Structure 1
Amino acid sequence: MHPKTPLSCLSNQQLINEVKASRRSLREMKTQIQSLTNGMTETVANDVGEGLYSSIEENPPDDSFLELFWKEQKRAFKSSPKGMRWHPMMIRFGIFLQYQSARAYESIRESGVLKLPNKSTLRDYTNVITPATGFQPCVFEELTKMAKDLPPEKRYVALLHDEMKVKADLVYDKRSGQIIGFTNPETWTFNEDEVSKIATHVLVFMVVGINSHIKMSIGHFPTRTSTADELYPLFWRAVAYLEITCGLKVITSTSDKASPNQRLYRLHRVGNEPVVYKAKNEFAEDEERYLYFISDVPHLVKTIRNNISKSKPGGTKYLWNNNKNILWSHVTQLCNDDMARQLYRTKLTYEHVYLTPSSTMSVKLAVQVLSSSVARVMEAYYGPQMSETATLFKLLDRFFDCLNGRSLKESAFTRKPDVAPYKSLNDPRFQFLEHEFLQYFERWLQAVRARPGFTKAEQNKMFISFQTHEGIIMTVKAFVEATKYLLQHNLPYVLSNDFCQDPLEEHFGRHRRLGANQDNPTVHQFRYCLFLLKQ
């Protein structure tokens, strides 16, 4: 049959025969392509492997790990895969690579370009110890060894804690014979009320060095959203382990602005102070030292943005200060004008102003809204009606920069002096935070309370939420005192971002990435992933 014969001219049987012939031809072509590909891959892999082996022979590396790595490669090229006994450092390196990308690891291993341990070998090592909930003794042993080699000024650490949402499910662990997934795995019985004890979250404690490279998860606990009375003993147990067992010095505690965390800090109230921002560290053996409570700054900024986003006539907030309203419609109007006229005066997009549940959680979007660039455009083009909104945005932009310095050279790259490290007790940023910034909110609150003709409920709508205001006061006072204390005790500089919760958020992100498509692990999966992340 001619290839150009119209299909409409063929009978049903002729069409069936044509489809069968086409499928047969397609199978033959796929077989030929696969055979050619396999042959080319094997040739390239052999050539690269032989070239790599000869390069190792001619130019041995000087670095200790590189030398070990190439020695292992030489042994692996000479040995059969089943007879190879890998060095422990190569096992740890293989676990690290597989964690980064299991598919890429297997592709490199199968290509023959590099010799790497088999997946089953790595699995035997990662599962040799059955992980358990609670504080991890092996972590404290490692921290103790690390602390012995650190000078006194590098032993200061921040204690972080937060919860991660997990799947409420029970799993039978055949290795330990336990049912995993309850909030209290030691005591449980089968009854109708037991479902209320199945964990929905995992509480994690992490320690981060202020001026060192310490960054470790020290314990985790299945929970159903912890309460303040549950957090209190766990929190101080963590401090005791770090201070007494490991020889570290806990200077700050950072958490988000959740209600249990705020109640936890209020439990440390001694006198009549309106805001509790520090407590005496009873486990400090070298001197009388305080532990300072800090609310995570990115969470604070998001909360302030959320307060402003609700400010509108008839909304849950209707912010007012200095006889002017602070409204979300000001941000919306600026964004719509820019988008309609293609001005691009700011970074605002529809995603910034028309918030969804996912965009509400984005720190980046919140920071770009509450920025000095948005404030300058409001002042320059929209006149007095947006002046108070612009004033608040400028203060919040500087507040975030003052508490978000990440590196020694960031201020030079970004041309923002407020993100520079703190090196002096007389740093002008302390004056800004304690006086200009905090006093702005204090005067705002006083102006609202003095406004006649409104009930207290109506006045409350004119000010940010009091939980947010309390978090701002606590964070600023704790940060200033903690930073000054560290500078007085021989630290050459302090990076303000060391007090944030970013390492813990990154830790949770790694757990979700390990689950690939299943980014909501069970308690059982969380335990094994936590052990894998420690390798």
Structure 2
Amino acid sequence: MDKNLKIVLSLKQQLNSILKKYDDLTQTQLSSYTEKLPEKQKEAINACFNAANCKSSNGRRYTTTWVYECLLMRIKSPKLYRKMRRDNILPLPSYTTLQRYIKKLRPVYGFSDATIKMMGLKVKEMTEMEKHGCLLIDEMKLSEALSFKKSSLQVEGFVDLGEYSTEKDQDKLGDHALVILFQPFCGKWFQTIGAFLGAGAVPGTTLEKIIIEAVIMLENQGIHVDCVTTDGATWNRSMWKLFGIGQKSSSCIHPSDSKRQLWFASDFPHLIKNLKSRIINNKVLDTPEGTVDVSHWKSIIKADSSLQIKICHKLTADHIRPKHFQTMNVKMAFQFFSRSVAAAMEYYKDKVPELNNCEASIAFVKRIDQVVDAMNSQIPKDALRPDPESIHNK
């Protein structure tokens, strides 16, 4: 019993010693201990120490960065957020507190000058190569709706194209959102720099002006825009023509530097989706190796339907007869041209009469699969190259 008492007293002394060291720990010392940690881990540790200095959870104060991180955690997994907060794993603000911070935000349509200036400060610490990137432009369909914002006493939901709005558009309800995003060639970060609300797709003439303004604003902050990427929608092709982009030209003189070129590229996943739709709708596609026939895909599905362990289990009837928004599904388009489809055709070639002459389809699927692998690759070894001896060109 005396031995156990001594152990308890010893542990209490150690605990008191640790608490005393913590009380003596200054912010400078804490910074020296955490300087080698990633920024987000530093933020979490600082939040824990700040929470420990408060007598109750009602007196906690949070940094803006920590609030944003908490908001992202709540969005990704509300259940996990509630558990971490309930068990005090991290000092997370309540839902009410997060909502108060959200109400302080005042998002507006148009370009975000503050965001672009902050990006300019960020790239000052980067190398010249890390400052180069591309603009990604996309539109999405929205439901028409009006809402009254109490903080600004304004009704929101009408068309808002910034300075490009016309008088006839002011009373129209917006149903399309145009988003402009910058992504560097080197690095995993990306940033939305502007959003616009239109009635229908933004016209090509207006889109041309928005792109020029976006490029100039970023270039003025030391960020080099070398490429503009869009899908192949009609209004985007109209914008390409205004920049002089066609079958024989994929670039124009850069708006900020006459010695450089501004390149235009079509969104790769969108091209693969269009290629899949082309084969399904037209039934056949002529290639140098022969005719690619959609019936070859149908034959695989039919042959697999009688097997419990399927040769190509990812290929389903929905790939051939897509429903609703499945035509826009990138994953299904990539699966349509996957290596497993080519392997299934080779396996069934001598077993299913409909697949006796599928060599052209096999070669075509393998080639598209190699292109997809090259475009998805993040290492130079597997990248697409102009070298005819490259593995992806064979």
Equivalent of 2:254, from 281, 284, 291? 281
Q: Percent identity between the aligned chains?
A: 24
Distance 1:213 1:366, change over 3 A: closer
- After superposition, where does 1:355-434 map in structure 2 within 5 Å? 355-379=322-346, 381-382=348-349, 385-405=357-377, 407-408=378-379, 420-421=382-383, 426=387, 428-429=389-390, 432=393
Which of residues 209, 212, 217 in structure 2 aligns to 1:236? 212
> Which residue is equivalent to 1:161?
137
Aligned position for 2:3: none
State the alpha-carbon separation in 1 of the partners of residues 392 and 83 from structure 2.
56
Q: Is the 8 A contact 2:227 2:264 kept in 1?
A: yes
Structure 1: how far apart are the matches of 2:367 and 2:185? 26
Q: Which residue of 2 aligns with 1:108?
A: 84
Seen in structure 2, the aligned counterparts of structure 1 residues 396 and 55 have a Cα distance that, compared at 3 Å, is farther
The residue correspondences of 1:504-515 to structure 2 (distance < 5 A) are none
Structure 1 distance, partners of 2:392, 2:87, is 61
Q: Work out the CA distance in 1 between the residues paired with 2:16 and 2:324.
A: 57
Per the alignment, residue 280 of structure 2 pairs with 309
Write the distance in 1 (CA, Å) between the matches of 2:75 and 2:18. Answer: 27
Matched, 1:198 2:173: yes
Structure 2 partner of 1:328? 294
3-state DSSP of counterpart to 1:69: helix
Choose which of 235, 246, 249 in structure 1 pairs with 2:224. 249
Please state how far the C-alpha of 1:130 moved relative to its aligned partner.
1.9
Contact 2:112–2:193 (8 Å) recurs in 1: yes
1:250 Cα deviation from its structure 2 partner: 0.8
Amino acid aligned to 2:305: M
Cα gap change, 1:92/1:283 in structure 2, threshold over 3 Å: closer, same or farther?
Answer: same
The DSSP-based 3-state class of the residue aligned with 2:208 is helix
Kept after mapping to 2: 8 A contact 1:56/1:70: no
The code of the aligned residue for 1:148 comes to K
Label 1:142 to 1:226 Cα distance change in 2 as closer, same or farther (>3 A).
same
Aligned residues of 2:159 and 2:169 also touching (Cα < 8 A): no
SS at match of 1:127: helix
Q: Matched residue of 1:330: which SS?
A: helix
Partner of 2:100, secondary structure, is helix
TM-score by length of 2: 0.78
Structure 2 residue 100 is the aligned partner of structure 1 residue 124: yes
- Give the whole-Å Cα distance in 2 for the aligned partners of 1:328 and 1:55: 75
Quick one: distance in 2 between partners of 1:321 and 1:93?
A: 51
Report the CA distance between 1:381 and its aligned residue: 4.0
Q: 1:71 aligned to 22, 44, 49, which one?
A: 49
Match of 1:290 in 2: 261
Matching residue within 209, 216, 231 for 2:191: 216
**Cα distance change of structure 1 residues 137 and 325 upon mapping to structure 2, 3 Å threshold:** same
Mark the CA change 1:335 to 1:100 in structure 2 (over 3 Å): closer, same or farther.
Answer: closer
Query: Which of residues 124, 149, 156 in structure 2 aligns to 1:173?
Result: 149
Q: Is the contact made by 2:131 and 2:223 (CA closer than 8 Å) also made in structure 1?
A: yes
- Which one has a larger percent strand, Structure 1 or Structure 2? 2
Q: Against the structure 1 CA distance between its residues 88 and 363, is the aligned structure 2 distance closer, same or farther, given a 3 Å change threshold?
A: closer
In 2, distance between residues paired with 1:351 and 1:55?
A: 66
2:243 counterpart residue number: 268
2:186 and 2:17 map into 1 onto residues whose CA distance is 40
- Match for residue 352 of structure 1? 319
Q: Relative to 1, partners in 2 of residues 1:296 and 1:428: Cα closer, same or farther, differing over 3 Å?
A: farther
Task: Measure the CA separation in 2 of the matches of 1:218 and 1:288.
Answer: 25
Match of 1:85 among 61, 70, 74: 61
Deviation >6 Å, runs of 4+: 53-56, 58-61, 185-189, 193-196
Q: Which amino acid aligns with 2:230?
A: S
The answer as to 2:117 corresponding to 1:141 is yes
Structure 2: 5+ residue stretches without partners: 1-14, 36-41, 350-354
Choose 376-385 or 364-373, whichever is displaced more. 376-385
2:38 counterpart residue number: none
SS state of the match for residue 93, structure 2? coil
- Greater share of helix residues, 1 or 2? 1
Distance 2:156 2:80 in 1: 31
- 1:211 and 1:112 map into 2 onto residues whose CA distance is 38
**Number of equivalent positions:** 355
Counterpart contact for 1:257–1:295, Cα < 8 Å: yes
Q: CA deviation at 1:333?
A: 0.7
The structure-2 alpha-carbon separation of the partners of 1:341 and 1:115, relative to structure 1 and needing over 3 Å to count, comes to closer
The aligned amino acid for 2:331 is K
Pairwise CA RMSD: 3.3
Please state how far the C-alpha of 1:208 moved relative to its aligned partner. Answer: 0.6
CA contact (8 A) 2:232 2:267 kept: yes
Could you say which structure has the greater relative contact order, defined with CA pairs below 8 angstroms and 6 or more residues apart?
A: 1
Aligned equivalents of 1:159, 1:54: Cα separation in 2:
57
Deviation track 1:269-320 (CA, whole Å, cap 9, x = no partner) reads: 27xx634311121213xx72112111111111111011111134xxxxx434
1:204, 1:219 within 8 Å by CA — same for their partners in 2? yes
Q: Which amino acid aligns with 1:227?
A: P
Contact 1:308 1:327 in 2 (8 A): yes
The answer on whether the counterparts of 1:301 and 1:366 sit within 8 Å (CA) in structure 2 is yes
Post-superposition Cα deviations, 1:110-152, rounded to whole Å, max 9, x if no partner, equal 4445433333333333332422110001111110111111111
Aligned AA (1:356)? K
CA distance in 2, matches of 1:339, 1:217: 45
State the structure with more CA Rg.
1
**Structure 2 CA distance for aligned equivalents of residues 218 and 72 of structure 1:** 33
Q: Is the 8 A contact 2:141 2:176 kept in 1?
A: yes
Q: CA deviation at 1:402?
A: 2.1
CA contact (8 A) 2:137 2:181 kept: yes
Q: Could you tell me whether the CA contact under 8 Å between 1:265 and 1:276 is conserved in 2?
A: no
Q: Secondary structure at the match of 2:362?
A: helix
What are the superposed Cα offsets for residues 143-175 of structure 1, whole Å, 9 maximum, x if unpaired?
Answer: 011111111111101100101222201111121
Q: Residue type matched to 2:281 in 1?
A: K
Cα distance in 2 for partners of 1:322, 1:427 equals: 18
Aligned counterparts of 1:113 and 1:371: Cα–Cα separation in 2? 43
